[in-house]
Structure 1
């Protein structure tokens, strides 16, 4: 609290435009922290859900399409599996028209490749959902220091204007408040930008790793599906 008192004093002594700059920096800070905390909560939640569903897939490995899913639930691994199941059943139903119904239905290598491509599209969709609102953080990183610089310039202008128009001895308070604002907005701008930069880099790395996990899960599903349904001699 003691360390923040100079900044608080600078805020209360600032003019209307100076207060607007401080308030804008405060809003940017709140927004960046909300995004970070929301993404961290989402990361923890998705890790638990995906881990649970992956275990369910492993226990039903002998019949990959037999897993019961809740249509109301939605999270990356479940959506990937839904995409696989829907596309696979669609292809199997089409293949029934070209073979004797008494025989088992299989898929060609082209069918497997089609499903794999379908899952890649789903993974891209899930990745974009994870990246939602993430663009705000680099915006805060860029805008924070510039708002701080604007406050610095404005504070110096106030100081020079006071020196030109009024007596130095009678206006020490105005001069000091201008200098205080100039320095404080720079500090606050950096205090806003630095955590946002760290958060952005951390979240980008997390999303990259999460995408790799989705690809690994997808490849596992495709491999299991290929073992169960691919026929070498599809006619």
Structure 2
């Protein structure tokens, strides 16, 4: 085999995998599976956040269009999938239930506001957990993969030096292939960790922004209900925004 062919063989991932020790092979396979798993999560979260934000933009445009909140809630349906219209449905449902009993005194108004606040906070907490689902996978892959790959490299180098000692040959052409196989495990670990680390940080920021968006809308809803509570009893609540 020529020097060029040997160099090409040392850089061929398939050859490096096939020549590796069984322990190192198992580590490489595990890291490859972790990488595929993290990419599945990355594509899923990217699509999910794009859909959530697109729907949120459309809903906020509808709210800012001047239409009544009742009309927008009716269009969204009784149990909308997106959290923003669901928050609106919850707030208006509590408002209508309270108004069916007649005019509210100050104590009843405070109880209504507290009930709406608890309901919206509970929804925000659940949605915050939902949008963060999968981030734990990215965190584990990002933090553990380099160390797992490093363990594979150390194991491979130990075996390589053991084989070199047995052969009694320390020539570079004898050492290089074994070292390349061992270092390949670290390369796979970094290949799995770097995208997972970047995606974890990006989606953590996106999740925080989306939760903040929900909290801001909850504050706007509570302010709208408070304005309705402060209006005269004869006022038509459908005209309050």
What band does the TM-score fall into relative to the shorter chain? 0.7 to 0.9
- Which of 57, 61, 79 is the aligned partner of 2:86? 79
Q: 1:60 to 1:114 in 2, by over 3 A?
A: farther
Q: Is the 8 A contact 2:21 2:156 kept in 1?
A: no
- Offset of residue 31 of structure 1: 1.3
Question: For 1:111 and 1:231, how far apart are their aligned partners in 2?
Answer: 15
| Distance in structure 2 (CA, Å) of the matches to 1:146 and 1:169 | 28
Aligned to 1:161: 162
What is the TM-score when the length of structure 2 is the normalising length? 0.80
Deviations for 1:125-183, whole angstroms, at most 9, x for unmatched residues?
Answer: 1111001121111100121011111111111121122023234289955x444211221
Aligned match of 1:37: 43
Aligned to 2:229: 229
Is 1:65 equivalent to 2:70 in the alignment? yes
Question: Could you say which residue in structure 1 is the equivalent of 2:5?
Answer: none
TM-score between the two structures when normalised by the length of structure 1: 0.81
2:23 corresponds in structure 1 to 17
Aligned match of 2:116: 115
Aligned residues between the structures: 221
Correspondence for 1:150: 151
- Structure 1 CA distance, aligned partners of 2:94 and 2:25? 57
Q: Tell me the distance in 1 between the aligned counterparts of 2:94 and 2:111.
A: 13
> For 1:209-234, what per-residue CA distance to the aligned partner results, in whole angstroms no more than 9, with x for missing partners?
1111111111112222222234689x
Match of 1:91 in 2: 98
Matched-pair contact (CA < 8 Å) for 1:137–1:200: yes
Match of 1:182 in 2: 182
CA contact (8 A) 2:94 2:112 kept: no
Residues 61, 224 of structure 1: 8 Å contact kept: no
